């Protein structure tokens, strides 16, 4: 999607941006604060981020909020994260609905409290018909879990005689993954200096552009987002093809 940016030159805008929000704890330590303060500061970034991505033409934003591995963190930190997540849903859902944002969650929900699952269901149901922007929150999510979950569904279909292994394909498998109904991320941003994807959307990020920044997530402001989007705009995406190759794979 070409747009006119700050220098008035037409540039490409990612349709779907996925973000690994890293550095809350290190930011808090740097400020001499508790880790919970870092997580609260990180949540405050989300509202202006959505406003800016929408203004720049991004349709889908997926945030890696809580990974499958995060349950290994200290109990008090996990409890604080769950309270913060609940507080965010309580305070932001109606405003997001007013703004035309559809909320969705991907991940294994069974370990969350019944009250939190109810909040998640309410947020999804209230905003399900919104089409302006999609906010996807990945909670208790892991790329390996996603792939295994899809494999289990397909295995059950084979067991029931509904599917033959001869029918297996990349496309079929992809249709059983989380977010199978939306475009794969064009751009994945990770903050706080780490240069890995940490089990995030392993299948979906196969051809995504990756952008790493040293900026801690609580400091990820409009200027930092512009840097990421501008960096993406000047990359040439060939999807396995060559320069100017008309036979290059087309992204979904």
The catalytic site residues sit at 22, 70
Nearest CA to 191 out of 24, 17, 13 is that of: 24
Q: How far is CA 204 from the centre of its chain?
A: 11
Residue 94, token pair as written in the block: 């109606």
* Rounded CA separation 129/124 (Å): 9
Using an 8 Å Cβ cutoff, are 1 and 12 in contact? yes
Measured from the Cβ of residue 136, the count of other Cβ atoms closer than 10 Å reads: 23
> Is 183 in a helix, a strand, or coil?
coil
* Rounded CA separation 104/114 (Å): 17
N-to-C CA span, the chain: 14
* Rounded CA separation 252/170 (Å): 13
* Rounded CA separation 107/140 (Å): 5
User: Which are the contacts of 145, defined by CB distance < 8 A and separation ≥ 6?
Assistant: 68, 107, 108
């Amino acid at each position: 999607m070409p747009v006119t940016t700050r220098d008035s030159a037409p540039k490409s805008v990612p349709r779907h941006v996925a973000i690994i929000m890293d550095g809350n704890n290190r930011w808090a330590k740097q400020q001499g604060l508790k880790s919970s303060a870092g997580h609260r500061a990180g949540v405050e970034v989300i509202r202006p981020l959505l406003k800016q991505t929408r203004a720049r033409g991004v349709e889908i934003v997926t945030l890696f909020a809580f990974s499958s591995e995060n349950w290994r963190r200290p109990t008090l930190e996990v409890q604080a994260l769950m309270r913060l997540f609940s507080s965010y849903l309580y305070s932001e859902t109606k405003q997001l609905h007013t703004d035309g944002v559809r909320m969705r969650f991907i991940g294994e929900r069974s370990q969350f409290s019944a009250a939190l699952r109810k909040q998640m269901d309410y947020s999804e149901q209230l905003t399900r018909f919104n089409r302006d922007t999609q906010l996807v929150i990945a909670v208790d999510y892991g790329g390996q879990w996603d792939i295994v979950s899809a494999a289990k569904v397909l295995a059950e279909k084979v067991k029931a005689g509904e599917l033959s292994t001869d029918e297996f394909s990349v496309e079929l498998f992809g249709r059983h993954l989380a977010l199978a109904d939306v475009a794969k991320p064009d751009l994945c941003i990770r903050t706080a200096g780490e240069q890995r994807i940490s089990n995030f959307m392993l299948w979906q990020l196969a051809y995504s552009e990756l952008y790493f920044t040293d900026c801690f997530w609580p400091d990820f402001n409009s200027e930092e987002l512009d840097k990421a989007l501008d960096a993406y705009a000047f990359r040439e995406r060939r999807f396995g093809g060559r320069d100017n190759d008309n036979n290059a794979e087309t992204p979904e």
